[in-house]
Chain A
Amino acid sequence: MGSVTATVGPPTDAHVTPWFRTFGAIVAAGFRRHATYRQAAVAGVVTNTVFGFLRCYIFLAATGAAGTVAGYDRAQLGTFVWAGQGLLAVIAIWGWTDLADRIRTGEVAADLLRPVHPVTSYLAVDLGRAGFAALARLVPPLVVGPLFFAVYLPRHWATVPLFLVSVLLAVVVCFGCRYLVNATAYWLQDVRGPMILWTLGSGVLAGLYFPLGFLPGWLEATLRYATPFPGILQIPLDVLVERESMPTNLGLVGLQVVWAVLLLALCRLVQRRAERRLVVQGG
């Protein structure tokens, strides 16, 4: 029995695996966990693709005779829609209630018993999930869209890597928002109300229902610089279709970095507050 018991002391610096290896292992586990739900991925791809057609036709109709609207030409709108349909699952804008469910059932106690901060471990799992979604859900719409519509391909070599960085940041920003919405369960138990507000608000403010350029200039600017929402979808898509110059795009990605850091800090703060008043439900 000796080998099972506490014959080895707690980890010290001498044999501590670096922090990022722990983080990486949780990311990989998140990838594997979500990769087990393949049928759900197929159903999601079909839905995203059908709605891609619908959205694309509506936006193209808005261009009218001039062939442009709000600074997008028809090909840019095609890319905006089809890449956007693929990104929906990568950022997991809707339907994530894992944390809220675990708070409601008391399972969150198990998360608190791990030697990793809950925000860190949930983020790692989410990045793993996003990684799987990037393969299973982002690629199909990007292949289907160009078969039926004109799409815009980036002209600047740096756009593609910048887009990938922007998507990664979009996942983190979206995760931060979702974590905060879910964390209301610490106070409310039932998060249906905040969740409905989030679903409605995020769709409009992130540029999913229409590109934010469709809005009056002052409103678009306010949303873009004063809220994290465009960083969830609008910014990565604008980077991809090169709507702005490269320096502006770099600035927009920088803005995502700021929001990502702020939101993660806020998540940690909220988590700390919540833990002080936590009531673990049921035994």
Chain B
Amino acid sequence: MNVIEMDGLRKEFTVRVRAGVLRREKRTVTAVDGVDLRVERGEMLGYIGPNGAGKSTTLKMLTGVLMPSAGQARVCGLRPVADRTRLALRIGVVFGQRSQLWWDLPLRESFDLLRHVYRVPAGAHAARLTRCRELLDLDAFLDTPVRQLSLGQRMRGELTAALLHGPEVLFLDEPTIGLDVVSKQAVRGFLAELGRAGDTTLVLTTHDLADIERLCRRLVVIDHGRVVHDGSIAELHRRYGSRRMVVAELDSALPEPPVLPGAPVQRVEADGRRLVFALERASVAEVVAGLAGLATLRDISIVEPDIEEVVTRLYASERKGPLLTPGV
């Protein structure tokens, strides 16, 4: 069953730019340019793209904050803008750069108020809060006014606030932005556990690809408002030719970088004593065998493809021109 459906979803903004001393020209900027997407119940979807790609705008349309310029969206079977207050009861939203907590109130009171705002039965609210307190370690700052919390503490509070009414879909817009390593781990661990339970659909936008690798099986890449990849991380690697690397440490440098069939040299480091081969058609064994005949091997290691590198190449190719077919 699809929890989220988008058909040709589009959002345009009008901006006025200076065109003379007094003249202003209207220009239309397309932030989201016809996105079609289906998300099933319980999926964990990573929604990534460079700055200004249209990630947050899509999320705002799905949560009913922004009105689409064209196209349609359905979340939990509801129209986000027209049924916004009804939809609010069924979704949870965390905007990393905004707060949904009450600035002047202690966290505990914010949570209590949310129980009334979302009309959650006291028992269910208490059970969820207890679980979040354990998993996110909230007790130390539960009585601190929100304005005095650190960013990491506030974000843990935000996550709790978004979950206390048991939402069917959780939208997270850069939930780990600005967090230190420990807080990032806490948030990721929590979301991973939430995903394992399997009945909450999670849509996550982030610039931190480690979040995606850790949490999401499905990855949607958006650029210039269009979907340029929709599939698993492994598929992304396959499509954009990301390769495993073999790093060979030699006793002494070779006069020329060796030519091994199916494994071109990517980098030469440490004055020629470290060679990095990309595995295209050759296997690791073939590279090792090929090298053993040429030099004394000191050490060998295999580097798995780096998602950051793939995505950087993907963004760069998109900037240069439409090398990829959108909406695949």
Provide the residues of chain B in CB contact with A277, threshold 8 Å.
Answer: 67
Q: Using an 8 Å CB-CB cutoff, how does the interface string of B92-111 with A read, 1 for contact, 0 for none?
A: 01010111101011000100
Assess whether B167 is interfacial by the CB under 8 Å rule: yes
Q: A280 and B89 in contact (CB under 8 A), knowing A1-B194, A3-B131?
A: no
Provide the residues of chain A in CB contact with B145, threshold 8 Å.
Answer: 36
Complex CA distance for A115 and B165, rounded to whole angstroms: 11
In the complex, given contacts A5-B194, A275-B67, what are 16 additional A-B residue pairs having Cβ atoms less than 8 angstroms apart? A1-B194, A1-B197, A5-B197, A8-B166, A11-B89, A11-B120, A22-B117, A29-B109, A33-B105, A107-B99, A109-B60, A109-B65, A110-B100, A113-B65, A113-B88, A283-B56
Q: Which chain B residues numbered 229 to 260 have a C-beta less than 8 Å away from chain A?
A: none
Assess whether B322 is interfacial by the CB under 8 Å rule: no
Assess whether B214 is interfacial by the CB under 8 Å rule: no
A13-21, A56-64, A169-177, A203-211 - interface stretch: A13-21
Provide the residues of chain B in CB contact with A192, threshold 8 Å.
Answer: none
B65 with A5: CB separation less than 8 A = no
> Which has the most chain B C-beta neighbours within 10 Å: A17, A117, A276?
A17
Nearest Cβ in chain B — how far from A107, in angstroms?
6
Provide the residues of chain B in CB contact with A276, threshold 8 Å.
Answer: 67
Q: Please, could you name 8 A-B residue pairs with CB atoms under 8 Å apart, sorted by A?
A: A1-B193, A1-B194, A3-B127, A4-B128, A25-B116, A115-B89, A280-B65, A283-B174
A8 with B124: CB separation less than 8 A = yes
Complex CA distance for A117 and B100, rounded to whole angstroms: 15
Contact of B132 among A4, A15, A25, A116 (CB under 8 A): A4
Complex CA distance for A33 and B196, rounded to whole angstroms: 38
Seen from chain A, the residues whose Cβ lies within 8 Å of a Cβ on chain B are: 1-8, 10-11, 15-17, 21-22, 24-26, 29, 32-34, 36-37, 106-107, 109-110, 112-117, 121, 275-280, 282-283
Provide the residues of chain A in CB contact with B66, threshold 8 Å.
Answer: 278-280
Provide the residues of chain B in CB contact with A110, threshold 8 Å.
Answer: 95, 98-100
Complex CA distance for A3 and B194, rounded to whole angstroms: 10
Provide the residues of chain B in CB contact with A7, threshold 8 Å.
Answer: 166, 199
| Interface Cβ pair total, 8 Å cutoff | 127
Complex CA distance for A106 and B99, rounded to whole angstroms: 11
Complex CA distance for A113 and B199, rounded to whole angstroms: 21
Q: A32 and B109 in contact (CB under 8 A), knowing A10-B90, A15-B121, A113-B93?
A: yes
Complex CA distance for A29 and B107, rounded to whole angstroms: 12
Provide the residues of chain A in CB contact with B135, threshold 8 Å.
Answer: 1, 4
A4 with B121: CB separation less than 8 A = no
Complex CA distance for A110 and B103, rounded to whole angstroms: 12
Q: A279 and B13 in contact (CB under 8 A), knowing A5-B200, A33-B102, A110-B95?
A: yes
CB closest chain-A residue, reference B100: A110
Nearest Cβ in chain A — how far from B142, in angstroms?
16
Provide the residues of chain B in CB contact with A36, threshold 8 Å.
Answer: 104, 145
Nearest Cβ in chain B — how far from A30, in angstroms?
9
Contact of B194 among A4, A15, A121, A280 (CB under 8 A): A4
Nearest Cβ in chain A — how far from B93, in angstroms?
5
Provide the residues of chain B in CB contact with A6, threshold 8 Å.
Answer: 166-168, 199-200
B79-87, B286-294, B297-305 - interface stretch: B79-87
B95 with A3: CB separation less than 8 A = no
